[in-house]
């Protein structure tokens, strides 16, 4: 069975040396997560792991507690142990999907602290990946976003979040998980939110992808998921290059200037930044802002900083969230700011 092969491959990639480590599956009761739970239960003994489940009740629809209880019963029937059910409070405001995801992963992190699993598996498929790529393209996002849902990421220092169904071989799509549940006689829950056109992802799934399939062929979903694989490889390479470039700047110093301190890049560091390809330079500036000032800059913001490196003559300070950047002839000074930065005297921007 393809599902079991995907789970087997994911388990084999887990390292740590712990005897009978615990692996949990995030189980909603839908076909994707139910197939994953069944695959994990079937592979656990051979792989020498303990397999359990975490069921998150988001409380977003009537009867959600009964749905969660039913999913937990299915997990126990499959032989998973422990099975944990957590009710979460989904914050109001903003996007409901993002808020539910935030609450769900907070619950995962809390259970990881309590039970110390080496991994928590979720059942995102190649179809989910294709949808994610389209949504990222619509937002005008960069390579990292187009790379889609990461197959593995750290949930904590000791626990990783693993998505076994995102790999290209075997290629697991929704039809695969539905067929697996039917073969095993498992009754999957159909979440009504998955058919609600109020969600952008549902519109992509139900309206946009069918049109693209009709016009471009049945391989469109596989092609989009493959694009995510390629973009992820590129993004990881560029991120590695940028991290090395930060270390090689050589003249970054910190002082106590400004509201929350400052970073000063000297002439050699500026020259090094100017030599970098734009994609790497953007990442370097983004990384410096995140690590030194705790701010997450957009492309527009990093472009404004980059101009002080590549086209600075006669250019005044650049103001981006949390930072006021000034270029003198031989240094680039990034000063942390709280509140409106434009109240700060800009006289120092003169070269």
Give me the pLDDT at residue 339, please.
Answer: 61
Q: How far apart are CA 297 and CA 257, in angstroms?
A: 21
Strand-pairing partners, residue 263, are 254, 334
Domain region containing 288:
249-349
Q: Mean per-residue pLDDT for 294-314?
A: 91
Q: Are residues 124 and 92 in the same domain?
A: yes
**Residue 17 above 80 pLDDT?**
no
Let me know if residue 324 belongs to a domain.
yes
CA distance 205 to 187: 23
Q: How far apart, in whole angstroms, are the C-alpha atoms of residue 290 and residue 327?
A: 20
220 and 272 in a common domain = no
What's the pLDDT score for residue 251? 61
Most confident of 177-191, 246-260, 320-334: 177-191
Is residue 241 in some structural domain?
no
The residue with tokens 């590695």 is 240
- Each residue's pLDDT tens digit, 21-47: 999 999 999 999 999 999 999 999 999
How does DSSP classify residue 204? I
Q: Could you give the C-alpha distances from 303 to 239, 261, 300, 327, in angstroms and in order? A: 17, 22, 5, 14
End-to-end CA distance of the chain: 68
Residues 228 and 262 in one domain: no
* 186 vs 339: which has the higher pLDDT: 186
Q: Band of the pLDDT at 73, cuts 50, 70, 90?
A: very high
- pLDDT for 340 equals 54
Q: Are residues 327 and 223 in the same domain?
A: no
Note whether residue 113 is domain-resident.
yes
Same domain, 219 and 270: no
Domain presence at residue 237: no
184 domain residue, yes or no: yes
- Reported as a pLDDT band with limits 50, 70 and 90, residue 16 is low
pLDDT band at 144; cut points 50, 70, 90: confident
Torsion over CA of 145, 148, 151 and 156, rounded to 10 degrees?
Answer: 40
Cα–Cα distances in angstroms (integers) from residue 297 to residues 65, 319, 324, in the given order: 40, 11, 13
Residue 337 predicted with pLDDT over 90:
no
Decide which of 167, 197, 232 is a domain's last residue: 232
Q: Are 40 and 25 in contact (CB under 8 A)?
A: yes
Q: What is the pLDDT of residue 258?
A: 41
Residue 263 has pLDDT above 50, yes or no: yes
Q: Is 62 in the same domain as 172?
A: yes
Residue 170: predicted pLDDT: 93
**Total number of domains in the chain:** 2
Which residues, including other chains, have CB under 8 Å from residue 342's CB and lie 6 or more apart? 319
Residue 240 in domain? no
pLDDT > 60? residue 342: no
pLDDT in tens, 147-204: 999 999 999 989 999 999 999 999 999 999 999 999 999 999 998 888 889 889 999 9
Strand partners, 123: none
Going 329 to 335 to 337 to 343, the CA torsion angle's sign is negative
pLDDT given at position 91: 87
pLDDT at res. 310 = 93
239: left (phi > 0), else alpha (psi -120 to 50), else beta? alpha
């Amino acid at each position: 069975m393809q599902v079991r092969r995907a789970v087997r491959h994911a388990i084999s990639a887990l390292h740590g040396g712990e005897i009978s480590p615990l692996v949990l599956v995030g189980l909603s009761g839908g076909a994707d997560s139910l197939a994953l739970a069944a695959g994990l239960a079937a592979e656990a003994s051979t792989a020498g792991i303990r397999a359990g489940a975490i069921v998150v009740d988001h409380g977003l629809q009537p009867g959600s507690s009964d749905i969660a209880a039913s999913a937990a019963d299915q997990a126990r029937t499959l032989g998973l142990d422990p099975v944990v059910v957590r009710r979460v409070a989904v914050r109001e405001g903003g996007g409901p999907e993002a808020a539910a995801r935030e609450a769900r992963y907070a619950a995962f992190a809390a259970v990881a602290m309590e039970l110390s699993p080496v991994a928590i598996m979720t059942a995102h498929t190649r179809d989910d990946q294709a949808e994610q790529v389209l949504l990222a393209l619509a937002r005008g996002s960069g390579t990292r976003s187009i790379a889609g849902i990461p197959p593995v990421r750290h949930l904590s220092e000791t626990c990783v979040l693993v998505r076994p169904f995102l790999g290209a071989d075997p290629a697991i799509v929704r039809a695969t998980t539905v067929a697996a549940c039917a073969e095993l006689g498992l009754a999957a829950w159909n979440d009504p939110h998955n058919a609600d056109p109020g969600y952008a992802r549902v519109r992509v799934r139900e309206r946009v992808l069918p049109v693209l399939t009709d016009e471009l062929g049945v391989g469109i979903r596989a092609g989009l998921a493959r694009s995510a694989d390629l973009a992820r490889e590129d993004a990881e390479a560029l991120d590695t290059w940028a991290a090395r470039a930060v270390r090689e700047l050589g003249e970054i110093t910190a002082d106590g200037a400004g509201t929350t301190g400052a970073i000063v890049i000297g002439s050699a560091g500026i020259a090094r930044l100017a030599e970098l390809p734009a994609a790497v330079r953007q990442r370097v500036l983004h990384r410096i802002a995140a690590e030194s000032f705790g701010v997450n800059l957009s492309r527009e913001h990093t472009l404004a900083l980059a101009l002080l490196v590549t086209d600075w003559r006669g250019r005044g300070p650049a103001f981006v969230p949390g930072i006021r950047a000034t270029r003198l002839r031989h240094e680039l000074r990034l000063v942390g700011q709280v509140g409106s930065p434009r109240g700060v005297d800009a006289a120092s921007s003169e070269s």
